[in-house]
Amino acid sequence: MIPRYSTAEMDAVWSDVARFGRWLEVELLATEALAELGTVPTDDARACRANAPAVDEAFVAAVSEREAVTDHDVAAFVDVVQDAIGAPSGSWIHYGLTSSDVVDTAQCWALRDAADLILGAADALLATMVDLAKRHADTPMIGRTHGIHAEPTTFGAKVALWALQLDRDRARMRAARTAVAVMKLSGAVGTYSNIPPDVEDFVATRLDLVPVPATQVVARDRHAEFLYACASLAATCELVAVELRHLQRTEVGEVLEGFKPGQKGSSAMPHKRNPISAETISGLARVVRGNAITGLQDVALWHERDITHSSVERVVLPDSSQLVYYMVRRLRGLLDRLGVNTTRMIENLWSSHGLVFSQPVLLALVRAGATRDQAYRIVQRNAMRAWDEQREFRQLLEEDPEVASLGASSELDAAFDLDRSLANAHRSIDALDGIELG
């Protein structure tokens, strides 16, 4: 991942130093398990642990140099580790294992840690959303369908629905974490032909991973599930970002991204305050979504394994983890600093001359005895006039002889009552009480 969208926390999960450190721990634990079974001399297993090399940038460089000869990263890693430990003890490193035993176990370990970081960030974002929703539970605004004024809602209800969706994403990520927090040390085709299952159980316990039946590799539907969970989170972030971009348009002006001292919105136009965080989130969601498709394509491997998935995963697993973690954190920062223009929200709600109350007027006419089609045509006719003539919808209705003949004029107060319209808008806010925070 390019530095612009990486974070120190997720870098620590996916760095080469971390990757080789995990590989080394898997190898050492496997050696210790074999010692308990009597296959490896106890003193040699102890020597492997005591003389194991420090995994740092120098170690990474040594493996890279060796890989130029072996053209195989795990073989190069094993050579460097064995040389550091020294013979004869070092010869027991990688005993009975195949490369994927080490790589897949370590990678699932990394995915579990990445999922934990993402879940922590999602928890923090959810808390921010819940707070914002409750603060604006009674902030009226116009609801829009197809980009057109529809009926009144509240900003709090809108945010509450985002929070409820994010909570579902947390459940998906928790499930994906369970799916990837697994391991295998079962050999070249998963039959334990050269390594007993007790070794796998020993290592699994020490790493807090679950041993699972496998071929040469852990089944890739697990990785695809993780990538889908990332994509779903990214889609939710994009949903929020797109809405905020629309609400920030000059003609709407209902929200505004925070703007720090010294910030510039445009190199050419000093007046600009652009929704850059929301736009960045929208763009990065496309990348994460594409990675999910790639993960699904990795599920179908030849026989007990090929390496078509390997090169892909070196990119999409770290990148999706990094991007989603970055997006969730950036969205939280956006919402923490979000300006909400409640005055503009009310102005926009009433800017369509009361047309947003057309449905309660329609229902009032039906209650007064009109057929639904008759009522619809009365309302539509006056609504069109209100828009074309820039006149108040209610005034036109009061002047309409057909409305008067139905005796429905007395019901217009209730039909145009904003409080009545929003009386049940709290239901989405109330649903937040069922969310577990933190």
Q: Are 144 and 191 in contact (CB under 8 A)?
A: no
437 inside domain: no
| Rounded Cα distance, 291 and 411, in Å | 55
Domain boundary (70, 95, 120) is at 95
Instruction: CATH number of the domain at 330, please.
Output: 1.20.200.10
Which residues are known catalytic residues?
A: 146, 266
Write down the pLDDT at residue 45.
98
**Do 277 and 230 share a domain, yes or no?**
yes
Residues 342-358, mean pLDDT to the nearest whole number: 97
**Do 83 and 138 share a domain, yes or no?**
no
* Predicted confidence (pLDDT) per residue in 139-197, tens digit: 999 999 999 999 999 999 999 999 999 999 999 999 999 999 999 999 999 999 999 99
30 inside domain: yes
Write down the pLDDT at residue 409.
77
* Predicted confidence (pLDDT) per residue in 197-217, tens digit: 999 999 999 999 999 999 999
| Cα 387 from chain centroid (whole Å) | 42
* Predicted confidence (pLDDT) per residue in 221-244, tens digit: 999 999 999 999 999 999 999 999
| Cα 350 from chain centroid (whole Å) | 36
Q: Are 146 and 416 in contact (CB under 8 A)?
A: no
**Do 132 and 39 share a domain, yes or no?**
no
**Do 337 and 254 share a domain, yes or no?**
yes
Residues 49-55, mean pLDDT to the nearest whole number: 98
**Do 321 and 389 share a domain, yes or no?**
no
Q: Which domain holds residue 57?
A: 1-95
Residues 106-119, mean pLDDT to the nearest whole number: 98
Residues 115-119, mean pLDDT to the nearest whole number: 98
**Do 369 and 313 share a domain, yes or no?**
no
Q: pTM here? A: 0.95
In one-letter notation, the amino acid at residue 334 is: L
142 inside domain: yes
- Cα angle: 394, vertex 400, 404; to 5 degrees: 100
| Rounded Cα distance, 93 and 67, in Å | 18
38 inside domain: yes
Write down the pLDDT at residue 377.
97
Residues 279-284, mean pLDDT to the nearest whole number: 97
**Do 121 and 241 share a domain, yes or no?**
yes
DSSP for residue 52: P
434 inside domain: no
147 inside domain: yes
The mean pLDDT of the chain is: 96
Q: Could you tell me what percent of the chain has a pLDDT over 90? A: 93
429 inside domain: no
Write down the pLDDT at residue 107.
98
pLDDT band, residue 336 (cuts 50/70/90): very high
Q: Which residues contact 320 (CB under 8 A, 6 or more apart)?
A: 226, 227, 230, 231, 288, 291, 292
**Do 80 and 110 share a domain, yes or no?**
no
Write down the pLDDT at residue 265.
76
Write down the pLDDT at residue 93.
98
**Do 19 and 45 share a domain, yes or no?**
yes
Residues 6-29, mean pLDDT to the nearest whole number: 97
Instruction: CATH number of the domain at 404, please.
Output: 1.10.40.30
Split into its structural domains, the chain has a count of: 3
pLDDT at residue 338 greater than cutoff 80: yes
